[in-house]
């Protein structure tokens, strides 16, 4: 390998943190064309993870390292959300350290690349594309290994859980999470509630916040939040809550009025 080529690979490995994916198209834009990428593979600097996807040779890359590439190299809004984000940011009522399932959210119309879906991350990927919240609202930065990526903050993550409920997420567990969120900033909650496009999510969120008795709930401007009209049957054979016009699981509706 020439001195120039060795200098370029050293620069690349210095710029790109360990534990992440490098997309071939992104490398090409940075001056590392297909022939140079092939040369780096032949010389043992890089190795293929999938079609047109590279990693450092011998590197261990998890799905978060792949998400880092989607966010920083493609500008994607796909991020860990729901229960996964709550666990990663230590905001769950009880922590699930198992990596067998990861919940990801992205903007409406977004999709996971085939190389992401086809690779075995040792984790079942549960991806949801939606438009019930603006893509960038309510995200926080998470340090993982040698890099930082965006994940849902506690308010957005709980709203994502409620979006999946009751089929994809247990509502009683959602309430257990809400009970632990006693230090939220009212302004942040207000912003997400006003931006949220799901009537179900907003009604459930406010019901749970009210039931939990959090101080920050008293500072919300509920007249600025569109709660729609009419009743919402969240579950069958539940208990109707007149305040928020929703039918809830009996275990959750106790002492709710």
Q: Identify the pLDDT of residue 48.
A: 97
Sheet with 101-107, edge to edge strand ranges: 79-80, 101-107, 124-130
The predicted structure's pLDDT at residue 254: 73
**Average model confidence (pLDDT) across the chain:** 93
User: Which residue did the predictor score with more confidence, 152 or 3?
Assistant: 152
Q: What is the Cα–Cα distance from 227 to 187, expressed in whole angstroms?
A: 18
Rounded to whole angstroms, the Cα distance separating 1 from 120 reads: 33
- The pair of structure tokens assigned to 1 is 């390998």
Q: Alpha-carbon distance 149 to 84, whole Å?
A: 14
Residue 97 is predicted with a pLDDT of 45
Reported as a single tens digit per residue, the pLDDT across 177-196 is: 999 999 999 999 999 999 99
In this structure, what DSSP letter does residue 103 have?
A: E
Cα(60)–Cα(20) distance, rounded to whole angstroms?
Answer: 8
β-bridge mates for residue 239, sequence order: 248
C-alpha of 29 from chain center: 27
- The confidence score (pLDDT) of residue 4 equals 60
Contacts 24+ apart (CB under 8 A), 8-11: 8/32, 8/36, 9/40, 9/45
CB neighbours of 18 closer than 8 A, spacing ≥ 6?
56, 59, 145, 146
The pair of structure tokens assigned to 19 is: 């534990």
Mean pLDDT throughout 77-99? 79
Which letter does DSSP use for residue 142 in this model?
E
Q: What is the DSSP string of 57-96?
A: TT----HHHHHHHHHHHS----EE-HHHHHHHTT-SSS--
pTM for the model stands at 0.93
pLDDT bucket at 91, cuts 50 / 70 / 90: confident
């Amino acid at each position: 390998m020439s001195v120039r080529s060795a200098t370029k690979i050293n620069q690349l490995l210095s710029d790109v943190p360990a534990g992440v994916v490098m997309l071939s198209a992104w490398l090409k834009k940075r001056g590392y064309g297909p022939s140079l990428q092939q040369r780096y593979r032949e010389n043992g600097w890089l190795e293929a993870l999938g079609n047109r996807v590279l990693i450092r040779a011998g590197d261990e890359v998890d799905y978060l390292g792949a998400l880092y590439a989607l966010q920083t190299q493609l500008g994607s809004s796909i991020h860990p959300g729901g229960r996964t984000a709550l666990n990663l940011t230590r905001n769950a009522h009880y922590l699930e350290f198992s990596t067998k399932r990861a919940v990801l959210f992205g903007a409406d119309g977004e999709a996971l690349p085939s190389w992401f879906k086809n690779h075995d991350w040792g984790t079942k990927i549960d991806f949801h594309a939606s438009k019930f919240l603006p893509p960038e609202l309510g995200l926080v930065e998470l340090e993982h290994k040698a890099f930082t990526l965006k994940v849902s903050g506690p308010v957005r993550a709980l709203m994502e859980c409620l979006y999946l409920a009751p089929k994809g997420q247990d509502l009683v567990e959602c309430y257990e999470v809400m009970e632990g969120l006693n230090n939220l900033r009212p302004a942040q909650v207000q912003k997400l509630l006003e931006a949220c496009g799901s009537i179900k999510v907003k009604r459930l969120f406010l019901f749970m916040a009210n039931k939990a008795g959090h101080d920050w709930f008293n500072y919300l401007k509920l007249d600025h939040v569109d709660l729609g009209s009419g009743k919402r049957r969240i579950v069958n054979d539940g208990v109707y809550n007149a305040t928020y016009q929703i039918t809830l699981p009996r275990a959750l509706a106790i002492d709710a009025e």
